[in-house]
Amino acid sequence: MSNIQEIRADYDNKTITVYQAYNKQIALPAIENNKFEKPFSFNRMTWIKPSYLWLMERSNWGHKSNQEFILGIKIKKSAWEHALSMGVLTHPDDTVYPNNVNWEQAFKQAKVHIQWDPERTLRGAKMQIRTIQVGISSFLIEEYNTEWISEIIDYTPLTKKINQLRKQGKHKEAKRLLPKERVYDVPEDIANRIGIK
């Protein structure tokens, strides 16, 4: 069975929630002010992920160093789709790019990187579905911070609760608390650009 690439997210009419994990110094001011400030880096790429369970795998449920706080960042759907419309895949996909040279040129100039990784189950197992990561370059980080973000929510207490239930083998109870993610459809031109088939 081949991997399916699709965007799954918790979203409403105006916003989509993406996730990031940070230390206390970055997370607490962000939660309070609904935007990031130093020591958050505005000089390098920042990666946002609409898959909660993928971030759980990456951050080890908030137990990795400097990833103790799990943030749900509500960004405007218009900004999300704007970012995707500028996205260039991190690997040359022959269904998207005519050749490697074409991809290399696009990648060098890209302001947004798109990467697809295996989605995860509550138990951490890899799924056939691939989930999206979006890398926002330093060219766009100020715009992301000041114009895209509607709200930053602290998901740390919820994460600790879900993880505790998971460790106790109470997977049904844990699953009920997960963010309600569903397929997020994008216009055909964006889908073709970022490798959604």
Confirm whether 165 is domain-assigned. yes
Residue 3, pLDDT score: 78
Question: DSSP class of residue 135?
Answer: E
Q: What are phi and psi of 186, to 5 degrees?
A: -120, 160
Confirm whether 196 is domain-assigned. no
Confirm whether 40 is domain-assigned. yes
Total structural domains in the chain? 1
Confirm whether 193 is domain-assigned. no
Type of residue at 188: E
**Could you tell me the pTM of the whole model?**
0.95
Confirm whether 194 is domain-assigned. no
Calpha distance 171→177 (Å, rounded): 10
Residue 161, pLDDT score: 98
Type of residue at 67: Q
- 82 pLDDT exceeds 70? yes
- 1 pLDDT exceeds 50? no
Cβ proximity of 36 and 123 under 8 Å: no
Residue 75, pLDDT score: 98
Residue 102, pLDDT score: 92
Confirm whether 197 is domain-assigned. no
Confirm whether 195 is domain-assigned. no
The percentage of residues in the chain with a pLDDT greater than 70, rounded to a whole number, is: 99
E strand or H helix at 100, and its extent?
Answer: helix 100-109
What is the residue range of 44's domain? 4-188
